Structure 1
Amino acid sequence: MTTNYSVKKTPIIRIVLFLSLICLYVLFGYYLERTEYFKLISLYAALFFVSYKIIQLNSGTNSPLFIVSLLARFVFIMAIPNLSQDFYRFIWDGRMIFAGYNPYLHTPDSFLTNGIFPIPDAQILYNKMGPLSASHFTNYPPVSQFCYYLAAVVSNHSILGSVIVMRVLIIAADFGTFFFGRKLLKNLNLPVSYIYWYILNPFIIIELTGNLHFEGVMICFLVMSLYLLQNLKWQWAAVAFSLSVATKLIPLIFLPLIFKHLNLKKGFLFCALVGLINIALFLPFISSEFITNYAGTVGLWFRNFEFNASIFNIAKGIGYAFTGYNPIKIVGPIMALLVLVYIAYTTYKAPLKDLKSLIFNMLLIISVYYFTTTTVHPWYISLLVILSVFSGYKYPLVWSATLMLSYLAYASADNEENLWIIGLEYIFVYGAFIYEVILKKQIGRTPMETLEPYTDRS
């Protein structure tokens, strides 16, 4: 009788969970300011719990999960992002291109401080994007710029209209990731339900769909590239990888691993093709001034900016104790150099003959990079989350659950970080990382080795 009652009760529980999830996303998208820290953390914790239960109760049925993930994204369709102001710069760049300007050659400051309003809503966009963005040249690659331009083409005089266009593009990219991710999981003989740890993850929905970060587009092209590599179509994989790099530069960090995975000749041609395609995509914007501006802006991430760092904060604290000032201009580049050394060492030592090994080492390299870098904005970790889907490691999921703690910095007027809260975040992350990557390996039970095989390939 208990079993029958449970069977009858389960559909009701599912409906309640589905409705609860949608209501929580409505509250998050339309009734939350990022300065309301307690409310933010409470809603996020509730979303994570409900999402987990939904995935747990529907692990054998994909259709309800797909519908819920779609509805959860469309909840945000009319919402102005509430945790990030970066989208104002996206709109600015797109409208600059639409007006005939090269967005890489002008800062918003260079116009507004001289009383020039080159695009519609220039003053609003300038005020909302913040002084940091307004005073620097753009660093967004050409595929991202094309998305911003599309928003300007469709809605050049409405900020909400531009937001909707960009949101639709990101939602489309997420379901491209869903489509190719399921196929890749099948090819790797893994449960296709693993894709929902990405597609239904509240962190992914909030940071990408909600806050309009184009990591979602970058990830779509990356997963497509991995799928094509698995199917031995390395030329098309190079095209997809090129588009991923041209959306966000960070996938460039994986090129040495892919080079070794494909062996010398194919690896060289893959890298050459990626280089040529990206040069072609940047070509409409290229000038000597562009190269100077772009290199300088990218360099700022290693020398000037810092947020939610872990190992860097420790190194900074030690440096500050000895020198009396923030040593970011020295420590930042040193950390970047150490990561390059680690990439070279891993590429040389790691066996990369199969795609599972390639994906695991991609996850390891990007993890080490974010462990040591000066700046870890929450949406950066979306790349780790998607790689965890195909590797079986769960510490990126732990990180996605704890990342909202970093938003405490915005609860104060001066946006000052609370290092105790940052420390709490990384206690969970490093604990999960050490357990999965180091301790389990010592007893011969890594997640890759203990993943259950998937036999239903329908």
Structure 2
Amino acid sequence: MSLLLIFIVYLACVVLLGFSGGVGREPILCCAAFVTAHALLYALVFRKLERHRVLGTSMAIIGVGIALRLCFLSYPVTDDMYRYVWEGRLQLHGDNPYVTAPAASKYAAVDPLFDDISHKDMATVYGPVVMLIFRGLAALCDGPLSAASPLVVFKLFFMLCEIGVLLLLPVLLRQWNRPPHWAALYAWNPLILLYGAGEAHLDTLLVLLIAVALFAHGTRSRWRWLLFPAVGSAVMVKYIA
């Protein structure tokens, strides 16, 4: 099968996932598209891309990766996203999310996002770095970006984190003496697209910080000092880092 045909079928599967409106609506179709896209991605990376002068370049892989993420802009966010926005708003009101569970907050009755929050009886489990980011994004939503949906603003932030990872991938692969087309394993990965760009989990920020730490570890430039701040921040985003 030619590279172009494999690539077109792969794109069709990913675009179908992006505009599916959520895997739960058509689980069998989405599962088939998901598995097919994964299989074709590995065929592309390990059989075809290395020999292609255009698609195998870092610029093409990053460009396609960004375009694919745009297909997931309208994909339904995870219910965790409502909690992200809630935690940010709670801090703006002067409450401590590590102490006050959503159900115990005096804002529960007036915040329209409350009904969609998971684990309402639990205080936050997120790290302090990401909590400060939630607060900053919530402040933007109350200020200069008040006309936009907070869910969209938060999702765009995590999508920017994804793009940051894409931009670092070629640099990391050069540091590790690996082929540039291997970047597609992340940039075009249906799992990353679905749960990173689509559902917008905070793990995208975690991955970005780890990528920065890996870059700093492998460089001899003035950016080497970023290593420990990036690792520390990653841990304070999600403790499993």
What TM-score comes out, normalization by structure 2 length? Answer: 0.81
**Alignment deviations for residues 307-331 of structure 1 (CA, whole Å, 9 cap, x no partner):** xxxxxxxxxxxxxxxxxxxxxxxxx
Measured in 1, the distance between the counterparts of 2:43 and 2:191 equals 16
Q: How many residue pairs are counted as aligned between the two chains? A: 231
1:36-75 pair list within 5 angstroms: 37-55=27-45, 56-59=47-50, 60-75=56-71
The alignment's C-alpha RMSD in Å is 2.9
1:147-226, aligned counterparts within 5 Å? 147-156=133-142, 161-226=149-214
The answer to whether the 8 A contact 2:126-2:237 is kept is yes
Secondary structure of the residue aligned to 2:149 is helix
- Secondary structure of 1:102's match? coil
* Gap change, CA 1:21 and 1:160, over 3 Å in 2: farther
Contact 1:147–1:166 (CA<8 Å) still a contact in 2? no
Q: For residues 310-361 of structure 1, give each alpha carbon's deviation from its aligned partner in whole angstroms, at most 9, with x where no partner exists.
A: xxxxxxxxxxxxxxxxxxxxxxxxxxxxxxxxxxxxxxxxxxxxxxxxxxxx
Task: Determine if contact 1:18/1:54 at 8 Å carries over to the other structure.
Answer: no
- 2:214 maps to amino acid: L
Shift of residue 46 of structure 1? 2.9
Q: Which amino acid aligns with 1:20?
A: A
Percent identity, please: 19
- 1:377-430 deviation line (CA, Å, top 9, x unaligned): xxxxxxxxxxxxxxxxxxxxxxxxxxxxxxxxxxxxxxxxxxxxxxxxxxxxxx
Q: Offset at 1:109? A: 1.0
Task: Tell me by how many angstroms 1:238 deviates.
Answer: 0.6
Which protein has the larger Cα radius of gyration, Structure 1 or Structure 2? 1
Q: Any idea what SS the aligned residue of 1:58 has?
A: helix
The answer on 1:27 being equivalent to 2:13 is no
* Amino acid in the other structure paired with 2:179: P
TM superposition shift of 1:230? 1.8
Query: What secondary structure sits across from 2:212 in the alignment?
Result: helix
List alignment gaps of at least 5 residues for structure 1: 1-5, 252-458
Counterparts of 1:94 and 1:62, CA distance in 2: 36
Q: Among 125, 128, 134, which residue is 1:142 paired with?
A: 128
1:218 Cα offset (Å): 1.0
Instruction: Tell me the equivalent position of 1:407.
Output: none
Larger relative contact order, structure 1 or 2 (CA cutoff 8 Å, min sep 6): 2
Change (3 A) 1:164 1:58: farther
2: distance between equivalents of 1:242 and 1:76? 30
CA distance in 2, matches of 1:152, 1:119: 19
- C-alpha distance in 2 between matches for 1:78 and 1:229: 36
Unaligned runs of 5+ in 2: 51-55
How far off its partner does 1:37 sit? Answer: 3.8
Judged with a 3 Å threshold, the aligned counterparts in structure 2 of structure 1 residues 187 and 85 are, in CA distance, closer, same or farther, namely same
